[in-house]
Every structure is written in structure tokens, then in C-alpha cells.
Amino acid sequence: MSALVLRPLRREDSDRVAALESGIAGRSRRGFLERRFAVAEAMPDAFVTCAAVDGKTLAGYGFARVQEGEFGIRGTAAVLDVLGVDPDFRGQGIGKAVIADIERQLGAKRIGTLRTQVAWANQGMVRFFASTGFLLAPFQIIERGTTPLEEEVAEVKPLKPEGRERGRGRGEEIGFGTLARDRLPVRSLREEDLAAVVRIDRKLTGFDRSAYYAAKFREVLVESGIRVSLVAEEDGIVNGFIMARVDFGEFGQVETSAVIDTIGVHPAFGGSGIGHALLSQLLLNLSTLQVETVLVQLSQENFTLQRFLHARGFVQSQRLVLAREIR
């Protein structure tokens, strides 16, 4: 091995990275990677990248996304969700060199935590991350198949605090056993919903996280392969949202899955079934797309969301969240 050069990834590296990723994942990830390169180029402050070059050969690479406020967690961290080494160069410390360079760049940005995910069964990667100083993080990943939610056959609470609940047609009263997704209008998330989502989140958290949601909107509407995020709307007013993305390659997963990033319901409509309706419609849409699994990463202190999701069939995933503090 000649002297290893570490530099940021460039657009001209995309073909080489796509070829290596196809070999690692066992299928093409070109579409995902092309979007990732384009977004990283357009939003350099949102990503940290590293290319490890041996002579003229790209031998290793990594992408880390800068994130803030996932599921209400305060503070900024980075998530390492793409990491690869050419099989011909393995065992030479290239993966560790890529991580070290990413950490150096994050330190310059005063970002103190780097996280990643790994399947428990992938003992090689578990040992690798342990050898680079990663530890178990105080998060859990839960998952569920995309089979339909069980719907309770019961009278629903009024959607509007001051009046009786209405269906899609004005004056149509709701009786018993109506599916949540049918009695509460749900539609696809649009760019112009940003202000409403920020307003709901401010009511829930007490903080203005406009920058976080602007970045998340770009992620789910531009970078994600298919738009699956939803909002609940009544009389033209957004009162709940679920932000998700179809995962065609993050964290090296082979199976087709989706990731739920954020769920929010305006406090005035708590208990009205909006969260249930949003999740129900999302699962139906994902099943139609032949997506098999939906994943959620949660802080261990987020008991409310844990209860909500566990009651709807989510169980502990066999994936671990690892973190390394950057000094």
C-alpha cells in the first residue's frame, strides 16, 4: 500500500463508490448514492465525507450526516450511514482511517458525537466498531412489518375540541368501527407544509426547530427515493404529521425497509386518533410499495412514543445503535 491520502468525496467518485457498494450490499445502490452525492454537494454543511485514496485507487469511503433534534432530542450529532472499503484493501486500517478523518472534520465543526447502526448478527462490523471506540448508545431501534394496524371498533373522540367529529363530507357524522385513516383526512406531505409542521413541533417541544425541519423536508422530499411522508389535515389546517423515507441502502441494509424519522400531533387534538390514522395510512402505502419493514430509532427516555408504537405492534429490532464521543 502506498501513502494513503484522505480527502472529501467528490462527484467524480460516485461511479467507483457505487461499484464497491453494489459488491458489499449484493445489489445496486446507484440511485441512492447519486442522490446522496447530489445533496451533499448542494448542502456541504449537512454532511462530512471522506475518501481514502491509495495511489490512484479509491480504497475506502464514508458519509456522515449532521443531524439535530431527532424525535425531540436536543443537540447536534452526526450519523455515519455509509462506510465501505475495497475488499482488496481490507485489513490495512483503511476503515479506521476513514472514521478518524470524519471525526477530525466533525471536531472542527464542534460536533461531539458520531453515531451509527449495525445489525447484531453482523459480528464482524460489531467488532470493528468496538475496536474504534464505539459504545452502545442510549437509543433503541424498534420495528414492525407493514401489515395493517388493528382498528378498534369503538366510538371515536371528537376531532375538534369544541364540536362533534365530522367525516370527509360536511355534516357526515362518524359512527362505530370506521377505519382511522378513513375518518381523518390524510394526504402526502408537501413543501408548503413546513410552517405548519414547525408550528406543531413548537407546541410539543417549546423550541423553534425551523432549521432542523427544513433539512428534514429536503431529506424526505428530495433525497428519499419515494415520497411517503404524510400530514393529517382538517378544514385546510394541518394538525399532525409523520415523516418517513424509504430506505434503499442506508446502514447497508439489504432488505427493503422504511424509516420513520418524526411523528407529531398538535396537543389540542391529542387522543383523537390522528397519530393512529397517520401510521395506518403509512403502513398501507408502504405495503403497496412492497416495503416489508418500518424502523424507528428512539431515545430510551421517550416513553410516550414508545408506548404509542409498542401498542401498535412495534417490537425490539436486532439492530444496535452505537456512538463514539469525539474529543
Q: C-alpha cell of 269? A: 387534538
Please compute the mean of the pLDDT values over residues 269-293 and round it to a whole number.
Answer: 92
- Kindly tell me the burial class for residue 46, based on how many C-beta atoms sit within 10 Å of its own C-beta (0-12, 13-18, 19 or more): middle
Helices H, strands E: what count in the chain?
9, 14
- Tell me the pairing of strands 293-299 and 257-265: parallel
Same fold, 4-111 and 147-291: yes
Break the chain into its structural domains and give their ranges. Answer: 4-111, 147-291
CATH of 147-291, one of 3.40.190.10, 3.40.630.30, 3.40.50.12780, 1.20.1440.230: 3.40.630.30
Please compute the mean of the pLDDT values over residues 66-92 and round it to a whole number.
Answer: 81
Please compute the mean of the pLDDT values over residues 37-57 and round it to a whole number.
Answer: 91
Cα–Cα distance between 29 and 22 in angstroms, integer?
A: 6
To the nearest whole number, what is the mean pLDDT of the chain?
84
pLDDT given for residue 163 in this prediction: 38
Closest CA to 142 of 295, 326, 302: 295
Which run of H or of E encompasses 118? strand 113-119
**Phi, psi values for residue 314, rounded to 5°:** -75, 140
Q: Would you say residue 162 has pLDDT above 70?
A: no
Q: C-alpha cell of 230? A: 404524510
Per-residue confidence band for 256, with pLDDT thresholds at 50, 70 and 90: confident
Buried b (16+ CB within 10 A) or exposed e, 246-269: bbbbbbbbeebbbbbbbbbbbeeb
Q: C-alpha cell of 43? A: 448542502
- State percent of the chain over pLDDT 90: 57
Q: Would you say residue 32 has pLDDT above 70?
A: yes
Q: Would you say residue 277 has pLDDT above 90?
A: yes
Cell 485507487 belongs to residue: 57
Q: Would you say residue 161 has pLDDT above 50?
A: no
pLDDT single digits (tens) 313-322: 999 999 999 9
CATH top class, domain 4-111? alpha beta
pTM recorded for the entire structure: 0.82
Please compute the mean of the pLDDT values over residues 286-302 and round it to a whole number.
Answer: 89
* Ranges of H-type helices in the chain: 14-25, 30-42, 94-108, 123-131, 180-183, 194-205, 210-218, 274-288, 303-310
Number of Cβ within 10 Å of residue 31's Cβ equals 12
Closest CA to 83 of 65, 109, 108: 65
Cα–Cα distance between 81 and 241 in angstroms, integer?
A: 25
Per-residue confidence band for 87, with pLDDT thresholds at 50, 70 and 90: very high
Cα–Cα distance between 80 and 246 in angstroms, integer?
A: 18
